Structure 1
Amino acid sequence: MTTALTLALAMALDAMAGEPKWLWSRLPHPAVLMGRAVSALDTRLNTAPATRAKGVAAITVLVVAAGVTGLALAQLGWLVEVIGAAILLAHRSLVDHVAAVAHGLRQSTGEGRRAVAMIVGRDVSTATPDQVARAGIESLSENFSDGVIAPAFWFLIGGLPGILIYKVVNTADSMIGYLTPRHAEFGWAAARLDDLLNWVPARLTGGLIALAGEATAHWAAIRADAALHRSPNAGWPEAAMARALNIALAGPRSYHGRMEDLAWVNPDGRRTLGPADIDAAVRIVWKSWGLALAAIIFVGVLIWIF
């Protein structure tokens, strides 16, 4: 079976099953194991002197371990590859969590805050309904890139080793890739490698969202808006979603009790948001996922035939 068709089966399995609680309540999820490995290296190696060099060594160890693990698992056959890739994709889990934000907002602002706090790192304890909805849509857009399209892309490129390497780098970036006094040097390599691995997938995600949301006519504006984002990659799916829904995203928000004056993405877009906007964003992401799946199946069948 071709890598593309294996990936198509994995995407379908993830969309149907998501993250089964009965399984992950009994076994540690691979992402949890990756997090433990990152934490252990952070504890042991994140010391002066040569902190940046030690961070490079840490991410090298993680990448090699992930690649070797992927190669070993791939020897067990296509079914293991399908299940392994499905576990490392996060589409169903993502859309379910974001849909829960819309459901919570329909009950009360407090319920919306509680739901969105599960998927974002910013302070939402005093967020307005507009801010809750905006946070949910931003999280959906960005995580569709690094939780679905990027892992799928790297599986296509490198099979199980490729997707495992991507996931461990992305996990490391989420834990140590911050410009804090503790991690500015040690997490430098993880952050830069994550930026590199997400460069193509982020732009592919922006294109998929623009197609699904009928916003391709605004591509020049999407590209300009993406450049306003503090991340070299996250701005692409966010800018595409903003144009697809004609809403303003990003803007000022609080992190760790400190307000950050971030630029607006699509600043002329509508800023009054609610549960219906979250629902619309979820529909666009499902359509984007369907477009990606169709393209992967098409490529897989062509390779299989020829």
Structure 2
Amino acid sequence: MSHAAILFLAMLLDAIFGEPRALWNRVPHPAVLIGRAIGEAEKRFNSGDNRFAKGFTLTIALVLGGWIVGEFIGLFGWLPELLLAAILLAQKSLVQHVQAVGDALRISVGDGKRAVAMIVSRDTAAMDQSAVARSAIESAAENLSDGVIAPAFWFLIAGLPGLLVYKAVNTADSMIGYRNDRYEQFGKAAAKLDDALNWIPARLTAALIGVTHRVMGDWSAISDDAKLHRSPNAGWPESAMARALGIALSGPRAYDGEMRDFPFVNQHGRRALTPDDIDLTCAALWRAWGLTLASVLVLALI
């Protein structure tokens, strides 16, 4: 069975079943296992001299390990590949987490802040309703790229080995790819490789949002705003989502008690946001997913 055919079925399985809590309460999720391995390596090797070399070696080990595991599982046929691909896609769980913020925000701003704190790393204590909604929408756009489109892209390109390599590197970036004293050197290789692996998927995600919301005419502005983001990739889906909804995203926010004056994306867009904007975001996630599924089906039939 072709990569496209397997991916088509995997996307459907993920959309139907998502992350079955009963299963993952009993056995560790594959992404959790990857995270544990990275965490142990970080504790063991991220000290002393040559931390960049140690982190580089860890990144190479993750790439080789992901590829070897993927090839090994592939020896057992397409069904294990299908099941693992469905597990490592995150469309339904992404929508559920984002929608949970909107539902909580309808109860109170405090409930919304507690819900959004589950999916973002910025400070939430001083957030108002608009800041909560904005944070959830930004997370939705970025994770559509990281958690859905990029894994699907790399599965299409290189099958299960490609998907596992991507997930291992992306997990490493989320754990050690920070620019601070502890991780600057050790996590640099993982962060740079993650940037490279997400270069095409991030722009593809922006195009999917743009096509499904008829804002491709604003592509030049989307491109310009994407360059304002501190990440070379995350700004693309965020900028496309901002124009799809007619809102301003990004802007000032606090990390670790320090306010950072980031520029707004789509600065002339509406800044007063509500739970209804989160609902529209969840619908946008499904529309982009639907176009992706249709495209994968065409590739499978070809």
TM-score by length of 2: 0.99
Per the alignment, residue 277 of structure 2 pairs with: 277
1:260 Cα offset (Å): 1.0
1:139 Cα offset (Å): 0.3
Structure 1 unaligned blocks of 5 or more: none
Per the alignment, residue 118 of structure 2 pairs with: 118
1:213 Cα offset (Å): 1.6
1:286 Cα offset (Å): 0.4
Query: Secondary structure at 1:254's aligned position in 2?
Result: strand
TM-score by length of 1: 0.98
Query: Secondary structure at 2:186's aligned position in 1?
Result: coil
CA distance in 2, matches of 1:228, 1:205: 17
Q: Does 1:82 align with 2:47?
A: no
Percentage of identical aligned residues: 56
Per the alignment, residue 157 of structure 2 pairs with: 157
Write the letter of the residue equivalent to 1:178: Y
Extract structure 1 runs of 4+ deviating beyond 4 A.
none
Matches within 5 A, 1:41-190: 41-190=41-190
1:263 Cα offset (Å): 1.1
CA distance in 2, matches of 1:25, 1:252: 37
CA distance in 2, matches of 1:255, 1:86: 33
Write the letter of the residue equivalent to 2:220: A
Write the letter of the residue equivalent to 2:34: M
CA distance in 2, matches of 1:98, 1:232: 23
CA distance in 2, matches of 1:256, 1:75: 47
Write the letter of the residue equivalent to 1:57: T
CA distance in 2, matches of 1:145, 1:135: 16
Write the letter of the residue equivalent to 1:175: M
Per the alignment, residue 216 of structure 1 pairs with: 216
Per the alignment, residue 38 of structure 1 pairs with: 38
1:137 Cα offset (Å): 0.3
CA distance in 1, matches of 2:247, 2:145: 19
Deviation string for 1:37-96 (max 9, x for gaps)? 111111111122111111100111111111111111111111111100000000000001
What is the RMSD of the two structures over their aligned residues, measured on CA atoms?
0.7
1:205 Cα offset (Å): 0.1
CA distance in 2, matches of 1:276, 1:124: 20
Query: Secondary structure at 1:186's aligned position in 2?
Result: coil
Tell me if structure 2 keeps the 8 A contact 1:45–1:58: no
Tell me if structure 2 keeps the 8 A contact 1:4–1:300: yes
Deviation string for 1:193-252 (max 9, x for gaps)? 000000000000000001112211111100001011110000000000001111000001
Per the alignment, residue 293 of structure 2 pairs with: 293
Write the letter of the residue equivalent to 1:202: A
1:125 Cα offset (Å): 1.9
CA distance in 1, matches of 2:192, 2:91: 25
Query: Secondary structure at 2:254's aligned position in 1?
Result: strand
CA distance in 2, matches of 1:97, 1:179: 27
CA distance in 2, matches of 1:130, 1:214: 25
CA distance in 1, matches of 2:160, 2:125: 39
1:126 Cα offset (Å): 2.0
State how many pairs are aligned.
Answer: 302
CA distance in 2, matches of 1:105, 1:46: 40
Per the alignment, residue 16 of structure 1 pairs with: 16
Query: Secondary structure at 2:185's aligned position in 1?
Result: coil
Deviation string for 1:124-168 (max 9, x for gaps)? 122100000000000000000000000000001111110000001
